[in-house]
């Protein structure tokens, strides 16, 4: 539940899932961090994680979309928030990125090509490493690095909403 424009909004059936407000994901880091801190939701009542496609459907049902960090500033702000939210521990979180159409060509859920990447780079396990088997992208909550995963793996997820959606909903 969060309060925006003096109105309470509920985000039901999210497991440690987050409802984030990113005004078109084009804000400066400070503005983005303010929005992240201002608008989020964590439901302790529902402990059900979900697969990537179901997570996307749930975001769309709420008038949003899967979180799509488009540059380093957005990635850093999102990673800082996720890290503080899930600390201590490391919980993977679905993002709105996949290479389902063509192996190795990562697209955001809106169909645009991903230009900025935050793949995990480690001498034991560099990403992406799943080939044709792992086509959906998640963010690690401990360091913000991206991993490729099987799309049906269940985990937490992030939704983003633009200001226009929230403005229209406030008129209802």
Read off the pLDDT of residues 1-17 as tens digits, 9 standing for 90 and up: 333 333 333 333 333 34
Q: Following DSSP, what letter does each residue of 23-83 receive, concatenated?
A: STT-S-HHHHHHHHHHS----SS----B-HHHHHHHHHHTT-EE----SHHHHHHHHHHHH
Integer Cα distance of 24 and 63 in angstroms: 13
For the stretch 57-101, pLDDT in tens is 888 887 888 889 999 998 998 898 888 877 777 888 899 999 999
**CATH top-level class for 2-170?**
alpha beta
pTM as predicted: 0.70
Give the start-to-end residue ranges of the domains of the chain: 2-170
3-state secondary structure 20-32: EECCCCCCCHHHH
């Amino acid at each position: 539940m969060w309060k925006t424009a003096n109105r309470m909004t509920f985000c039901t059936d999210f497991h440690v899932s987050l409802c984030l407000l990113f005004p078109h994901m084009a804000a400066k880091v400070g503005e983005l961090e303010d929005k992240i801190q201002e608008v989020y939701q964590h439901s302790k009542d529902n402990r059900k994680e979900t697969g990537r496609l179901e997570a996307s459907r749930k975001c769309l049902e709420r008038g949003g979309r899967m979180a799509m960090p488009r540059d380093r500033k957005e990635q850093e702000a999102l990673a800082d928030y996720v890290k503080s939210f899930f600390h201590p521990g490391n919980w993977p979180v679905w993002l709105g990125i996949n290479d389902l159409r063509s192996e190795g060509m990562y697209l955001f859920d809106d169909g645009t090509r991903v230009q900025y990447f935050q793949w995990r780079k480690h001498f034991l396990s560099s990403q992406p490493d799943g080939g044709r088997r792992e086509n959906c992208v998640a963010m690690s909550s401990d360091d913000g690095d991206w991993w490729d995963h099987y799309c049906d793996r269940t985990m937490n997820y992030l939704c983003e909403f633009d200001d226009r959606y929230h403005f229209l909903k406030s008129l209802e």
